[in-house]
Amino acid sequence: MATGRHPFYIGGFQRTATKAIINDDPVFPNKLDPQLKAIIKGLLEKSPESRQKFVDNIRDHPFFTEINWTDIEESRACPPFQLPPQEVMTLYKMDLVSSFIKPIKPPIAEEDQKLFGGFTFASDGWKVIKPIPKPAKTHRRTFGSILKDAFHGIWRRIKRWK
C-alpha cells in the first residue's frame, strides 16, 4: 500500500507469485523513504523468528517516533486526516427502501444489549443517501433500423422522380 505496487514480481500465474514470495527479495522504488523501506523489509522477513522479533520491537522503530502509543491504546488518538463522507446512492426513495426492511431483533439478551449502549457501526456517510436518477432512455440504432431508414429514404426519392 505504501508504494502502490506489489513488492515481488508476480507474473501471470499463481505458481509464479508463490515462488516469488517464498524465494525472492522484495523490490522497492528508489525514492521510497529508508525508514519505511526498513519496516516493509522487516514485515516481509522470510524467517518467522526474525519477523516475530521485528514485530515485537516495532514500537521502537524510528518510523513510529511521533506516535503516542498510550493515546492509541486508550482510544484518544485522532486520525491524521479524515475523509469527507461520501453520498450513498440508492435506486429507490428512502420511504420505499424502509418499507422493504424488516426490523431485526437483537440476537442477544436485553441486559447484555445494554453493554453496547452508544455504540454505532454506521459512519456519517450512510446518513447522506440520495436516490439514483433514472437514466434517460436512449434509442440504440441496430443494423436493421439503419437498413430500414436507408430503404425508406431511397423509396421517397424514387417516388419524387415520377
Question: Which range, 41-50, 76-85, 153-162, is most confident?
Answer: 41-50
Separation of alpha carbons 61 and 84, rounded Å: 31
Instruction: Locate all alpha helices (DSSP H) within 1-142, ordered by sequence.
Output: 14-23, 34-43, 48-56, 69-73, 94-100, 110-113
Q: Where are the domains of the chain?
A: 14-73, 88-131
Question: Whole-angstrom Cα distance, residue 43 to residue 54?
Answer: 7
Cα three-residue angle 107-113-115, rounded to 5 degrees: 140
Higher per-residue pLDDT: 6 or 97: 6
For residue 94, give the C-alpha cell.
Answer: 428512502
What is the mean predicted confidence (pLDDT) over 9-24?
76
54-81 mean pLDDT: 86
Note the pLDDT of residue 31.
87
What's the mean pLDDT when you consider all of the chain? 75
Percent of the chain exceeding pLDDT 70 equals: 65
Look up cell 523513504; give the residue: 33
pLDDT at residue 75 in the model: 85
Q: How far apart are the first and last CA of the chain?
A: 75
